[in-house]
Amino acid sequence: MPVSRRTIARTAGRWLGEAVVHLFPSRCFACDGSLPRVQLLGACPSCWGLLAGGRVPRCDRCALPLPEGVAGSGAARASCARCAVRPPPFERAVAAVAYDTHARRFLLRAKDGHRPELLVPLAGQLAAAVSISGVAEGVDGVVPVPSALVARCRRGFDPARKLALVVADASGLRLLDGVLKKRRIGGPPSKGLKASARWAWALRSVTPRRTVPGAVILLIDDVLTTGATAAACTVALRAAGAREVRLAVWARTPLPETDFDRTRGTGL
């Protein structure tokens, strides 16, 4: 039985791919292991598989892991002790993965390594988490957390907007561009500040650019750390007329610093 040209081409391509892997080996950017022929955007399948949120129950208000045996759903959604005492201004929060060392490598590769294409599969993970959690039910529009002008120019893209585009498309929601903006204010980088100082700083850094009267907004960001930036955006969205703000982030850090104070300088 004669072999078709298509079969020959596929076989030759497979052999060529194997030869390239062995003759010109590459390294996985996440684990530094040899990159197999089957890979995605410079990371091996094993490292992609490690980017999973698991079935760990999380606080419905801030997305921190809850103690073992504590869970809730529907009207009985569980909150952590911190949120029970001092809830953040946003109504709900959902995270796709835990922000550990492994997840950090992926996000920094995308943001600081000028590889925005990596954000597409990460956004797919976030869209799945949004769908499973039901956080987008009744939402009127998706708003990305804005980047500072300097950061946007340095990277050439806005990470939160890249994530928001995929989430909006997957959820069938409108992407609301230009609702928020970062003010051009000087000062030290927020990463170098303690949690309480970061909150006071963040609340002065975001301002509304257009109104969203009576809207329920799904706010999108890459990482939730102290919650300062998300809270600042929530305050700005409410000033713009939003009725309710919910939050969806790709990754959630572990428990924030001990001097974290949600009420300092917020007036909430």
CATH architecture of 56-252: 3-Layer(aba) Sandwich (3.40)
Mean pLDDT of the chain, nearest integer: 82
Q: Would you list the domain boundaries of the chain?
A: 8-50, 56-252
Tokens representing residue 138 in the block: 């009744």
pLDDT digits (tens, 9 = 90+) for 159-191: 999 999 999 999 999 999 999 998 765 555 555
**Which residues have C-beta within 8 Å of that of residue 12, sequence separation ≥ 6?**
none
Higher pLDDT, 39 or 141: 141
Q: How confident is the model at residue 19 (pLDDT cuts 50, 70, 90)?
A: very low
What does the chain come to in residues? 268
pLDDT computed for residue 199 by the predictor = 63
DSSP H or E stretch at residue 21: helix 5-23
pLDDT digits (tens, 9 = 90+) for 184-226: 655 555 555 566 666 666 667 899 999 999 999 999 999 999 8
Q: Report the alpha-carbon distance of residue 223 to residue 132 in Å, rounded.
A: 19
Residue 217 near residue 248, CB atoms below 8 Å: no
- Burial string for 230-239 (b: 16+ CB within 10 Å, else e) reads bbbbbbbbbe
Tokens representing residue 2 in the block: 């004669």
pLDDT computed for residue 22 by the predictor = 44
Q: Report the alpha-carbon distance of residue 84 to residue 80 in Å, rounded.
A: 6
